[in-house]
Amino acid sequence: MMLNQFLLLAAVLFCIGVYGVLTRRNGVLVLMSVELILNAVNINLVAFGAFRDNVQGDVFAIFVIAVAAAEVGVGLAMVLLMYRNRKSTDFTELDMLKG
Amino acid sequence: MSLLTLAVEAVPKESFATGDVSWLLNNVWLIPTLPALSFLGILFFGKRMPKGGAELGIAAVGAAFLLAILSNVAWMDHRDNYSGPTDAGAAHAEDDHGDEHSEDALGASVVIDGQSEQVELTSSFVEEGGEGGHAAVAVLNERDWFRNGGVDFKVGTLLDGPSVIMLFVVTTISLLVHIYSTDYVAGDRRYTHYFAFLSLFTASMLGYVLSSNILQMIVAWELVGLCSFALIGHWWEEKPNSDAALKAFLTNRVGDIGLLVGMIILFFSAGGTFDIVEINKAVINNEMNQTAVTWAAISLTAAVMSKSGQFVLHTWLPDAMAGPTPVSALIHAATLVVAGVFMIARLYPVFYYGFSIPGSSINGLALIGSITVVFGGLLAFVQTDIKRVLAYSTVSQLGYMVLALGVGAWTAAIFHLFTHAFFKAGLFLGSGSVAHSVHSFDMKQDMGGMRKFMPTTFKTFMICSIALAGVFPTAGFWSKDEILVGTGGLGVGAEKANGNYHLMLIMGLVGAMLTGAYMTRCIYLTFFGEFRGHGTPHESGKRITVPLIILSVFAAGAGLLNLPPGFLAGSASSPTGWQERFGHFVEPSAAYFPAISHSVPSWWLAVVASVMGLIGPAIAYWYYFIKVDNLSKETGESLTELPNGLVANNKLAATGHAFLVNKYYLDHLYNDVIVAAVKGPIAKAAYWINQNVLDEVVDTAGRTSVKAGEAVYKHVDQGLIEGAVNGSGILSSQSGQGLRKLQTGKVQQYAALLFAGATILAGIFIVLI
């Protein structure tokens, strides 16, 4: 089987995710972009697992999905609180630690 | 496991055959242990007991007394009939059982390795008189206490003649004093503590006489000193009493330095052993440096001087009368003051060779003793306090003992210690009985005519006084006569005598005269004439009079134990009969005891001594019983001295009297000269040095440091260190100012930097690998 397609797909997804994280102002969209990055990594893991014919990659991907679910739970809760306090989910406004 | 069972087990395991030694002689440690346990018992439970702990003390001392009598009997049997193997080569037979036993006797846990050592000692020296068939065997039982630095520290009992007789003396006097005290200190606020310390006192003294090594001796010696401090200061609420206790303690500390120095010298010069037998043998076999032995003897003599009240360090002894009278009796008869005499007797070779006693005609020990005999006796004449008369009498009598030891009359010294214990205890308890009745110790103010009120006390006091004065045939006569014979002066007992101590003989005779005279004065002032006190005195109760009667019986009869050879029918050399029984059983003729030659008693000396001993009382009798008494009857007053006697008319006599009243100004010497010198000029000089030398140094140092400090502040601190500190502050501030621009607070910028960093690292990773 060919590994390249999977790796290219994952690289594209990763780059889109990074772009989203760095440019989006909306907190929800930043979180979604983080999910893209994680899923790009998942694709890599599963692809390598299938390529080497073992289940370690799959297992690791499932772990990442579980951790990502928790991370999104916490992240969305923070975004929700942010919205309640400021009526906005704009990350660029959160600069109180400016030096 | 208790020591008792241990000892029973250990003895059969001995590889060293010891023959039949009485069980008791191997276990004499029981005797001091009983009062020691009673001390703890009284201390913790005494107040809850119906009699305030006195019954426990009496029971313990009574049991110790019975054991002491049994051990004396056992010792006599052992001494005469022992035929088992002996250790003639003087090699210690040691038998180490590896098993460890722990023992908990006095609350302290002692680990002992089950070693039981028994050494039988004999000597090639065969006693004169044909009784050389018997070996004098000391029974030595030792156990390891601890080991440190290659030295074995042991505890044990060395049982031989002197220690076994001391067991008897100490327990007898102590038991009588205990019984007497239940009446005398009845109702005292520290009744229980009094009996607790009485028990400890007895225990320490018993432990002292049984000590098998000098370390144990020092411990017991200090314990005895501590107990005397506590008991002399029993009524410490009154300042003079606590002062007296302190004086006794501090004066004894002066001598204790000598004790420690002497013991250390002995330890090292005997090759690192504390063992009394080893030390004594080392001295006898000439294995020790003669100079070291001499210095050890001199140092130990200092200890004896303070503990046994020898002249110049005796001043604490009369002041120690501040304690309760039974305690004075115990201190003076059996415990504290005889500790010093006993130490000389115990380590006799050290003194015997250290002072070159054989063959000389004067030495330090004999000189101190003879001076004490006379000077102590003289002081007794000017005392108004009955107990102080007796105290100076004790000083004088202790002088006799030290004198006897100093001239080589070892047996005579121990015999005098033995007889003196009874009559002096009797006198003290008698004076206490009188004082109990008139509530005062002042003979001139509050006594007089007591014989009518207190017949029993009077009779016992008379018997004890006669014994003290050394009138034939009471105990004092025999023991004092032996001492005088022992001096070997003026051709007395010249045959086989140790030396010719002429001066000591004369001083001893003068002392005998003085003794009778001051006792006559004391008896007149106390018991004759008219009563000068207040109220009606009455005879004391049974618990006071019975001990007095017992003691006066001993005072009258104890001398018969050591009759000089040839006095009664029978051959002088016969071991049976009454001749020299005391000397036979008490004097060790062993490898650890010097071969003392014995003086031969002389009839003419006994007569001269008796005459001298009667001249003194006769003069005193003439003065008090005839002249003063007649004048009292004429004037109708109860006088205590002639109003226009020698002291009033004669300047020389007055000076002498003042000299005596002021106790040779020794207290003045100590307080006004030595202490005042320390307090006065030396303190002033110290103050001057302090102000002018030390302060100057300190001030200069202060000023210098201030200047140095200023310089350092200006240049180093302000310039260098401040610069460095400020510089680093400015640097970090400015760098912070520069770097704070990075801290935008923008999350996505941080994320961008993170990714950029990660990308760079990934690039490096790819390029390098």
- Residue with tokens 């109180």, as numbered in its chain: A96
Search chain A and give the residue with CA nearest B741.
A99
Average pLDDT rounded to a whole number, residues B608-621: 81
Residue type, B260: L
Cβ contact, residue pair B748, A23, below 8 Å: yes
Asked if residue B369 and residue B267 are part of one domain, the reply reads no
Residue B385: alpha-carbon gap to chain centroid:
24
Average pLDDT rounded to a whole number, residues B713-737: 84
- Residue with tokens 């001391």, as numbered in its chain: B166
| Crossing angle (nearest 10°) for helices B475-487 and B410-438 | 140
Measured in angstroms, the CA of B743 and the nearest CA of chain A are apart by 5
Measured in angstroms, the CA of B698 and the nearest CA of chain A are apart by 56
The answer, yes or no, to whether residue B414 has pLDDT greater than 80, is yes
End-to-end CA distance of chain A: 52
DSSP string, B251-268: HHHHHHHHHHHHHHHHHH
Instruction: Quote the pLDDT of residue B643.
Output: 62
Q: What is the mean pLDDT of chain B?
A: 77
Asked if residue B620 and residue B667 are part of one domain, the reply reads no
3-state secondary structure B52-71: CCHHHHHHHHHHHHHHHHHH
Model-wide pTM > 0.80? no
Search chain A and give the residue with CA nearest B743.
A99
Q: Please state, in angstroms and rounded to a whole number, the distance separating the CA atoms of residues B25 and B40.
A: 25
User: What's the total number of domains in chain B?
Assistant: 4
Measured in angstroms, the CA of B745 and the nearest CA of chain A are apart by 4
Count of other CB atoms within 10 angstroms of residue B765: 9
Model pLDDT for residues B571-595, shown as the tens digit of each residue: 444 445 566 677 777 777 677 777 7
Cβ contact, residue pair A95, B746, below 8 Å: yes
Instruction: Quote the pLDDT of residue B649.
Output: 61
B110 φ, ψ to 5°? -120, 130
| Chain B residues with beta carbon closer than 8 angstroms to that of A96 | 745
**Apex CA B139: angle with CA B133 and CA B143, to 5°?**
155
What is the DSSP secondary structure assignment for residue B141, as one 8-state letter?
E
Residue B400 contacts residue B369 (beta carbons within 8 Å): yes
Q: Please state, in angstroms and rounded to a whole number, the distance separating the CA atoms of residues A41 and A64.
A: 9
Domain boundary among B354, B385, B404: B354
Within a 13 Å sphere around the CA of A74, how many CA atoms are in the beta-carbon half?
A: 5
Identify the sign of the CA torsion B317, B318, B322, B323.
positive
Asked if residue B72 and residue B55 are part of one domain, the reply reads yes
Q: Please state, in angstroms and rounded to a whole number, the distance separating the CA atoms of residues B380 and B616.
A: 13
Search chain B and give the residue with CA nearest A19.
B752
Cβ contact, residue pair A98, B748, below 8 Å: no
Query: Which among B740, B747, B755 has CB closest to A18?
Result: B755
ipTM of the complex: 0.83
Query: Which among B739, B740, B748 has CB closest to A91?
Result: B748
Within a 13 Å sphere around the CA of B310, how many CA atoms are in the beta-carbon half?
A: 29
Q: What is the mean pLDDT of chain A?
A: 90
Peptide bond just before B85 cis, omega within 30 deg: no
Residue B446 contacts residue B435 (beta carbons within 8 Å): no
Q: How confident is the model at residue A10 (pLDDT cuts 50, 70, 90)?
A: very high
Q: Please state, in angstroms and rounded to a whole number, the distance separating the CA atoms of residues A13 and A58.
A: 19
In chain A the domains, ranked by start, together with CATH numbers, are: 4-89 (1.10.287.3510)
Domain boundary among B615, B643, B671: B643
Measured in angstroms, the CA of A20 and the nearest CA of chain B are apart by 10
Full domain range(s) for residue B123? 1-354
Asked if residue B715 and residue B665 are part of one domain, the reply reads no
Cβ contact, residue pair B752, A22, below 8 Å: yes
Average pLDDT rounded to a whole number, residues B415-427: 88
Count of other CB atoms within 10 angstroms of residue B1: 12
Cβ contact, residue pair A22, B740, below 8 Å: no
Length of chain A: 99
Residue B467: alpha-carbon gap to chain centroid:
24
Cβ contact, residue pair A94, B745, below 8 Å: yes
Cβ contact, residue pair A98, B744, below 8 Å: yes
Query: Which among B743, B751, B755 has CB closest to A99?
Result: B743
The answer, yes or no, to whether residue A59 has pLDDT greater than 90, is yes
Domain boundary among B334, B354, B374: B354
Model pLDDT for residues B188-241, shown as the tens digit of each residue: 778 888 888 888 999 999 999 988 888 888 989 988 888 888 888 888 888 888
| Chain B residues with beta carbon closer than 8 angstroms to that of A91 | 746-748
Chain B residues with at least one Cβ partner in A under 8 Å = 739-748, 751-752, 755
Measured in angstroms, the CA of A19 and the nearest CA of chain B are apart by 9
Asked if residue B457 and residue B408 are part of one domain, the reply reads yes
Measured in angstroms, the CA of A16 and the nearest CA of chain B are apart by 13
Asked if residue B513 and residue B370 are part of one domain, the reply reads yes
Q: Please state, in angstroms and rounded to a whole number, the distance separating the CA atoms of residues B96 and B91.
A: 15
Q: How confident is the model at residue B567 (pLDDT cuts 50, 70, 90)?
A: low
Q: Please state, in angstroms and rounded to a whole number, the distance separating the CA atoms of residues B754 and B428.
A: 105
Average pLDDT rounded to a whole number, residues B735-764: 86
Q: Please state, in angstroms and rounded to a whole number, the distance separating the CA atoms of residues B202 and B38.
A: 10
| Chain A residues with beta carbon closer than 8 angstroms to that of B734 | none
End-to-end CA distance of chain B: 79
Cβ contact, residue pair A99, B745, below 8 Å: yes
Cα distances from B504 to residues B16, B381, B507, B608, in angstroms, run 46, 22, 5, 15
Q: Please state, in angstroms and rounded to a whole number, the distance separating the CA atoms of residues B605 and B482.
A: 10
Q: B101: which strand partners?
A: B112
Chain A residues with at least one Cβ partner in B under 8 Å = 18, 21-23, 30, 91-92, 94-99
- Residue with tokens 């009471």, as numbered in its chain: B474
Asked if residue B162 and residue B148 are part of one domain, the reply reads yes
Q: Please state, in angstroms and rounded to a whole number, the distance separating the CA atoms of residues B63 and B57.
A: 10
Test the A interface: residue of B734, B747, B754 with most A CBs within 10 Å: B747
Q: What percent of chain B clears pLDDT 90, i.e. is strictly above it? A: 2
Asked if residue B254 and residue B106 are part of one domain, the reply reads yes
Distant-in-sequence, close-in-space partners of B649: CB < 8 Å, separation ≥ 6: none
The encoded tokens of residue B252 equal 């004894």
Of B21-25, B241-245, B259-263, B330-334, give the lowest mean pLDDT range.
B21-25
User: Burial letters for B87-98: b for 16+ Cβ neighbours within 10 Å, e otherwise?
Assistant: beebeeeeeeee
Asked if residue B623 and residue B564 are part of one domain, the reply reads yes
Q: Please state, in angstroms and rounded to a whole number, the distance separating the CA atoms of residues B724 and A30.
A: 48
Longest dimension (CA), chain A: 52
Cα–Cα nearest to A75, from A39, A24, A31: A31
Q: B751: which strand partners?
A: none
Search chain B and give the residue with CA nearest A17.
B755
Average pLDDT rounded to a whole number, residues B542-569: 77
Cα distances from B617 to residues B380, B444, B566, B611, B622, in angstroms, run 14, 19, 29, 10, 8
Asked if residue B415 and residue B281 are part of one domain, the reply reads no
Length of chain B: 769
Residue B423: alpha-carbon gap to chain centroid:
19
Q: B154: which strand partners?
A: B144
| Chain A residues with beta carbon closer than 8 angstroms to that of B742 | 99
Q: Name the helix (H) or strand (E) containing B178.
A: helix B161-184
Strand-pair category, B109-112 with B151-159: unpaired
The answer, yes or no, to whether residue A14 has pLDDT greater than 90, is yes
Asked if residue B636 and residue B544 are part of one domain, the reply reads yes
| Chain A residues with beta carbon closer than 8 angstroms to that of B744 | 95, 98-99
Instruction: Quote the pLDDT of residue B592.
Output: 76
Q: B71: which strand partners?
A: none
Measured in angstroms, the CA of A33 and the nearest CA of chain B are apart by 12
The answer, yes or no, to whether residue B277 has pLDDT greater than 70, is yes
Query: Which among B743, B751, B752 has CB closest to A97?
Result: B743
Instruction: Quote the pLDDT of residue A39.
Output: 94
Measured in angstroms, the CA of A62 and the nearest CA of chain B are apart by 25
Measured in angstroms, the CA of A50 and the nearest CA of chain B are apart by 24
Test the B interface: residue of A41, A90, A92 with most B CBs within 10 Å: A92
Count contacts between A and B (CB, < 8 Å).
32
Residue type, B283: V
Search chain A and give the residue with CA nearest B737.
A99
Asked if residue B6 and residue B75 are part of one domain, the reply reads yes
Residue B492 contacts residue B608 (beta carbons within 8 Å): no
Query: Which among B740, B741, B746 has CB closest to A92?
Result: B746
DSSP string, B334-390: TSHHHHHHHHHHHTHHHHHHHTT-TT-S--HHHHHHHHHHHHHHHHGGG--BHHHHH
The encoded tokens of residue B331 equal 């201190």
The encoded tokens of residue B354 equal 């250290």
Measured in angstroms, the CA of B749 and the nearest CA of chain A are apart by 7
SS3 label, residue B120: coil
Model pLDDT for residues B92-102, shown as the tens digit of each residue: 333 333 333 33
The encoded tokens of residue B485 equal 């014979």
What is the DSSP secondary structure assignment for residue B312, as one 8-state letter?
T
Query: Which among A22, A97, A98 has CB closest to B748?
Result: A22
Model pLDDT for residues B129-138, shown as the tens digit of each residue: 333 333 457 7
- Residue with tokens 């005891």, as numbered in its chain: B593
Residue B593 contacts residue B348 (beta carbons within 8 Å): yes
Q: Please state, in angstroms and rounded to a whole number, the distance separating the CA atoms of residues B214 and B219.
A: 9
Burial label for B37, CB within 10 Å (0-12, 13-18, 19+), is: middle
